[in-house]
Amino acid sequence: MAMVQFGGGVTDMVGSIGGTTFSRAQGMSIAKRRATPRNRINFDRSQNQSYLSAAVWRWKTILTSGNITDWNDAAANFAQTRHGVAYEISGLNLYTAVYSLCQIASETCPNAPTIFTGRPLGPSYTPSWNAVTHKVKITMATAMSANQFLLFWNTNADRPNSTNRKIPYRNYQDIEAGDGAAFDLEGQYRSANGTIFWHYIVLDIRGAMSSYSRSYYSYTYS
């Protein structure tokens, strides 16, 4: 940022020229270089973008008009809320989301949904410390159907008793209905107290998905 003194007939300047923006603040003329947008390339972002591109291509070239009608009908049951305003997602929105989640879970996305009941509910579960494996354990209280997968992302160990996540969800695992009622969260643990953060979504490979849910658990190492 630089302060500017005008002369030679030019007394003021507002707006942008090239990468420089001119403005006024507290009676002074200011010139600022506009920040370059940061869009770091990483594997996860590139992979998600490739899934999105593939889904849009399939929507335009592979799916039939009947398939598209079915996705639109299924999407009508998926109410979203943003800033307190409810709205419906489109069939393309639903298809690209389900397609991407199926790719992550290494499952085949259907060309047309066979379920039209909106979002499935997330599971009820209880986190605890597994003193045998020295990992956080998730015990499921409700069973998923045979068509559902629990896609689970969690962090490595964070600060003890922390409530705000500051580290990435580096670990992923998907849980099938037949995997049992409990599973450990894989990741890097310290031989000390800590906190694990996670988020998850339930994917129904018939063409539905739950909302994302987030939580965390502060454990006592033993």
Asked if the model's pLDDT at residue 147 lies above 60, the reply is yes
Asked if the model's pLDDT at residue 40 lies above 70, the reply is no
Asked if the model's pLDDT at residue 1 lies above 50, the reply is no
CA distance 183 to 202: 16
- Domain assignments of the chain as residue spans, ordered by start: 2-33, 43-104, 125-219
Nearest to 200 by CA among 152, 134, 138, 128: 152
Q: What is the pTM of this model?
A: 0.76
- On the CB side of 36, how many CA atoms lie within 13 Å of its CA? 3
Nearest to 48 by CA among 6, 7, 104: 104
**With pLDDT > 90 as the criterion, what percentage of the chain qualifies?**
62
Looking at every residue in the chain, the average pLDDT score rounds to 85
Nearest to 103 by CA among 69, 41, 149: 149
Asked if the model's pLDDT at residue 206 lies above 90, the reply is yes
Q: Are 159 and 176 in contact (CB under 8 A)?
A: no
Q: Which two three-digit tokens encode residue 113? A: 């949904």
CATH T-level fold of 125-219: Immunoglobulin-like (2.60.40)
Asked if the model's pLDDT at residue 163 lies above 70, the reply is yes
State pLDDT tens for residues 82-117: 666 667 889 999 999 999 999 999 999 999 999 999
Hey, what amino acid is at 214?
A: R
Confidence band for 11, pLDDT divided at 50, 70 and 90: low
Helix (H, G, I), strand (E, B) or coil at 54: helix
> What average pLDDT score do residues 62-67 get?
98
> What average pLDDT score do residues 63-87 get?
86
Give the residues across from 196 on adjacent strands. Answer: 217
Residue showing tokens 């354990």: 137
